[in-house]
Structure 1
Amino acid sequence: MDHRLFNYGNRFIRGLFYFFFALTTYFAVTSVNLILGDNSQTGSGTTVVTAMVLLVAISISLAGFSYPRVARVLKWIFVRHQVVTASVLLVATVAWQVLFVLCVHPAIGFDVSAIHEAVLDPKGVETMSYFSQNSNNLPILLMQHWLAEQFQTTSWLFFDWVTLILTDLSAVFNILSVAVISRRQIPTAIYVHVGWLAIFPMIIVPYTDAWVLPFVSAYIFCYVVMSYGRCHGFWKVLAAAGFGLNVALAYFMKPSAIVALIAIVLVELLQLIRHEFWQKLTWRKGGLLVVLLVVSGLVGGGAYSAGNHILDTQHYIKINTARAIPAVHFMSMGISGEGGYNAKDALKMAQLPTKKARTEWSKKMYLKRLKQRGFWGYLTFLVKKQRNNSADGSFAWIKEGHFIQQGTKPTGTGFARGLREFVYLYGTRLGDFRYLAQAWWIVWLIMIFFGWRDQRKFTQVLRLTIIGAFLFLLLFEGGRSRYLIQYLPAFLILGTLSFQYSLTRLRRLFQWVKIPI
């Protein structure tokens, strides 16, 4: 009976995951970002840059399939000497990131601008009003204020450097997680992360989307060490402390980033059903398990209490907590329009005087919108919202309005101007960036999609994390794939671990194609 329940639970996770993931993969493959040439739907067409990249990629692929010598050279570089090749590519990618930030570090608008303004002057009326309503951004403000004091600078370039470091630190923790599970897959992990980091312009946006990444990656890594690490118990206890600390830090930076924690708890509870779990449980293992739970709970709880104390007693900026926006507001917005930001709802939150009034109005609007859509209309809406939430491989870059404050057109000359053409609203190569980002996103999704035979516990944790991410964005404010960024560690690690399974499956599907290696 216990074995049957365990298998049912695993099948349910896998089935639900592939239901959502099949939709995402289909929507990604049919994305308007992949239109070559003029693109009337996005307004940003591709140029000779995309044509050249495709030409090179197709030429190398055809040469590899047609000429055994070329195939052997490619295998020698990317397979036999993959450690060296991956390491060189990683160093080159970091150098590319540094160059990109040096050339492109504009002032950013929207919420990022509000935080930066508060770092410069926390006494502005509009600034205090913003943080009274959006107190969830108070932790990143205090963190940026502390960094500004320590390094004696408030420049956008400085905070972009911090964003770059935090993003790359996330990659390091992800690769370490893979190393603990399978050292042989470290080069694959590096290849995957190189592809991501090379086309991730969010490093010039110092906001919670990127800043939460290292904390999510760190607590996933600590969980992996506790669960899979072949090391002394001391290191597992240390990992338990790191787990609790980083869960708390992730929560303060972006509360929705603890979805992976929920997935970990649910999958571990599922393991308790197995008869084999109790058979293998010795007094020593049981004692260590209790210690790990107590340490992670105490450290996490302590960090959470300390964080709340800091927020409650801070005197840097004066805020009125009674003005805070209720969570149901984001559910109400999540069912309006395309499921994204609703300016009218946001204005109403500013107009209503009490938290009770804001909560009641949001509940009323949520129920009204739900009733207006009806059962089938709501299902149709959710399918469309899933497309908006997850299909765009550029993570909705410049699709929420132009947030670069220096203008919609690139400025400057030379190489720096050329880079800006890829990321500005009216940059001549914005369509190229979106195409390349979309192509890589599809490769990434396919790597995960065909790995369905992988039934390892950690794989199920990652799948359940992604399910949780999809469900959260369907229920709350979403409407664009930028919100997926906080969950990228799960995608990146799962893509790496699924690679060999997917490669085997694809080889069987295309075994009629003779590869001359």
Structure 2
Amino acid sequence: MKIFNKLYKLGDKTVFILFEFLFLLTFIFAFQSSNLNFLGTTKTTIRFLLVLVILALLLTITKVRNFCSSVFIRHGYLTSLLLLLGVFFLQFQFVHNVSPEIGFDPRNIFSTLHDPNNNFYKTYFSIYPNNLFMLLSEKKILDTFHLIATWHNLDKITLFLVDFSALLNILTIHILKREKTISAIYIHIVWLLLFPMIIVPYTDTWILPAISLYVLCYCVIVKTDLHLALKVFVSLVMGAVIVVSYFLKPSGVIPFIAICLIEFLYLLRAKNYVKIFKLSTWIIALACLLSVSGSYYTINHKISNQKIVAITPGRETPALHFISIGMGPWGGYVHYEEDAMKNLKTIAERKTYSKKMIKKRMHKRGALGYIKFLLQKHSNNTADGSFGWLNEYQYINSPIKRGTTAYKYQKFLYPGGKKVGDFRFVAQLFWLFLLLSILLGFSYQTKFSKVLRLGILGGFLFLLIFEGGRSRYLIQFLPLFLMLASLTHSSARSFLAEIFHQFRLNWQHKIE
């Protein structure tokens, strides 16, 4: 009994230390981000900061503070929901006016819908069959709703998926800690306002509701008193959604792995042994496992027998390739290795090439050099609060149109837009707020918060090992960040308040 408790404490402490260490680094790197450089901003940022200062000063007035408390806290449900509806409307207006042609992988998937017989796209999907499920998903949704394959229609679908993910996150927080629901809505409101990825129809955004949904399912199973039959149904849904996440992005199962590991850790505690022998626990777990197995077979069969684009078997890129480029100059995509994957004929040759590049880079850097590289890569992976906006090759292929309704958005978000620096500055401030809320909210320790922390830690480690190099790859884990910040921000605020209180007492003592 005692040894199991010791193992639980060791595992729990290890996760906590690793998480806080990498998260502290993340905050430091984000604070040093070039997004906070005033030289890249305009008067818009100065006005924004002045408004924040004025609001802060107004809140020192008792009547103003009481009024804000009444509107945003006591009547917070009504206020936050109205604001959320307002944000949904602004997003719709944004997508309605701005639906540009996107480059890199989204363009290849989109173009395949229109020209599936093009040899370039046949080669692309032969090399990267991992994107076939995204292609099939786009095709299925467009056909179901009788929509033409246009960027505008795909952006509307992406908008719905992102907003649906936000609603699922809020519902999860409501089930866990009802008193934190209003804060969760406010946090998601700001995130949605600063998340232009809704015009980038790709796996980064399409996976968000899948992760949010299976995390919600887990929450429903462990935190509610639903009848066993309903929990079995929820576990079936959970299993299917986990598989969808896997086929969209294999790393999408990392939060599920975190769930399994934390549940295992908690079973090591003596008072939880009884759960092992509960019949309901085994029934729910078996239902989820059966759902995972059945869903995997079904989806894999559909992908293997898809008729949209003809692919050449045996040309797929091995996983070692993504580890290899993850060890490249900046830890991300390098064109010459993609060229090698195209030119080498067999999987064995591509694996051999990738192993050779991995050994070469390890030998060249050495132990200390590799540690230094990992620190820099972690910065590349996590520092940018705009999540790599405009950093991909040919990110947006549509020109700025001055004098149009779209221009008020384009000047903030398009390449060459004179106010792109303003967007990045404000997005970075919000990213720092999220990070600080989580970092200083360490005293908030529940099983669910540990699942979220371990899921984020798993995401960090995955991106350190595999292809990364920019924070776009962090988007898939945003539901975890948003939910954890919603739960911990009040603890972080209390921690800061205590520090300021002690500082003031010490200062007064020195004066006296």
- What is the TM-score with the length of structure 1 in the denominator? 0.95
Q: Are 2:347 and 1:385 equivalent residues in the alignment?
A: no
Give the Cα separation in 2 of the matches to 1:198 and 1:234.
39
2:288 is matched with 296
Of the candidates 13, 19, 24, which is equivalent to residue 22 of structure 1?
A: 24
CA shift for structure 1 position 282? 8.9
3-state DSSP of counterpart to 1:99: helix
Q: Are 2:237 and 1:242 equivalent residues in the alignment?
A: yes
1:494 is matched with 484
Q: Are 2:80 and 1:90 equivalent residues in the alignment?
A: no
Q: Are 2:112 and 1:118 equivalent residues in the alignment?
A: yes
1:41 is matched with none
Q: Which moved more, 1:226-235 or 1:419-428?
A: 226-235
CA contact (8 A) 2:184 2:483 kept: yes
CA offsets 1:237-292 (integer angstroms, 9 cap, x no match): 1211111010011111111111001111111111121100025x496xx1111110
CA shift for structure 1 position 152? 3.5
1:324 is matched with 316
Give the Cα separation in 2 of the matches to 1:62 and 1:403.
41
CA shift for structure 1 position 506? 1.4
CA shift for structure 1 position 50? 1.0
CA contact (8 A) 2:103 2:393 kept: no
Q: Which moved more, 1:225-234 or 1:473-482?
A: 225-234
Give the Cα separation in 2 of the matches to 1:313 and 1:3.
49
CA contact (8 A) 2:242 2:292 kept: yes
Give the Cα separation in 2 of the matches to 1:20 and 1:305.
37
Give the Cα separation in 2 of the matches to 1:242 and 1:404.
36
3-state DSSP of counterpart to 2:413: coil
Of the candidates 207, 217, 224, which is equivalent to residue 222 of structure 1?
A: 217
1:419 is matched with 409
CA contact (8 A) 1:338 1:479 kept: yes
Give the Cα separation in 2 of the matches to 1:282 and 1:335.
42
CA offsets 1:136-172 (integer angstroms, 9 cap, x no match): 0000101111223232411110000000001111111
Give the Cα separation in 2 of the matches to 1:183 and 1:245.
28
Give the Cα separation in 1 of the matches to 2:308 and 2:406.
37
Unpaired runs of 5+ in structure 1?
Answer: 39-44
CA contact (8 A) 2:183 2:486 kept: yes
Give the Cα separation in 2 of the matches to 1:327 and 1:486.
19
Matching residue's letter, 2:7: L
The equivalences for 1:368-379 within 5 A come to 368-379=360-371
3-state DSSP of counterpart to 1:414: coil
1:35 is matched with 37
CA shift for structure 1 position 321? 2.4
Of the candidates 316, 326, 334, which is equivalent to residue 334 of structure 1?
A: 326
1:72 is matched with 66
Give the Cα separation in 2 of the matches to 1:413 and 1:242.
48
The equivalences for 1:95-494 within 5 A come to 95-150=89-144, 151-279=146-274, 281=275, 286-407=278-399, 410-494=400-484
Unpaired runs of 5+ in structure 2?
Answer: 505-512
3-state DSSP of counterpart to 1:239: helix
CA contact (8 A) 1:133 1:321 kept: no
CA contact (8 A) 2:207 2:252 kept: yes
Matching residue's letter, 2:228: G
3-state DSSP of counterpart to 2:54: helix
Give the Cα separation in 2 of the matches to 1:485 and 1:271.
29
CA contact (8 A) 1:166 1:213 kept: yes
Matching residue's letter, 2:499: L
CA shift for structure 1 position 82? 1.2
- What is the TM-score with the length of structure 2 in the denominator? 0.96
Q: Are 2:71 and 1:81 equivalent residues in the alignment?
A: no
3-state DSSP of counterpart to 1:377: helix
CA shift for structure 1 position 513? 9.0
Give the Cα separation in 1 of the matches to 2:478 and 2:280.
31
Matching residue's letter, 2:412: F
Give the Cα separation in 2 of the matches to 1:435 and 1:497.
25
User: Moved runs in structure 1, 4+ residues, more than 6 A?
Assistant: none
Q: Are 2:60 and 1:58 equivalent residues in the alignment?
A: no
1:512–1:89 Cα change, 3 Å? farther
CA shift for structure 1 position 56? 0.5
CA offsets 1:83-138 (integer angstroms, 9 cap, x no match): 11111111111111101111110111111110011111211110100000010000
Give the Cα separation in 1 of the matches to 2:56 and 2:503.
13
Give the Cα separation in 2 of the matches to 1:169 and 1:434.
25
3-state DSSP of counterpart to 2:59: helix
1:507 is matched with 497
Give the Cα separation in 1 of the matches to 2:126 and 2:486.
42
Give the Cα separation in 2 of the matches to 1:470 and 1:386.
8
Of the candidates 7, 10, 13, which is equivalent to residue 9 of structure 2?
A: 7
Matching residue's letter, 2:134: I
Q: Which moved more, 1:155-164 or 1:145-154?
A: 145-154
CA shift for structure 1 position 415? 3.2
CA contact (8 A) 2:102 2:394 kept: no
Give the Cα separation in 1 of the matches to 2:273 and 2:329.
50
Matching residue's letter, 2:406: A
CA shift for structure 1 position 400? 2.4
Give the Cα separation in 2 of the matches to 1:215 and 1:147.
15
CA shift for structure 1 position 78? 1.7
3-state DSSP of counterpart to 1:427: coil
Matching residue's letter, 2:232: V
Give the Cα separation in 2 of the matches to 1:152 and 1:451.
45
CA contact (8 A) 2:267 2:276 kept: no
Give the Cα separation in 1 of the matches to 2:123 and 2:179.
52
CA shift for structure 1 position 230? 2.7
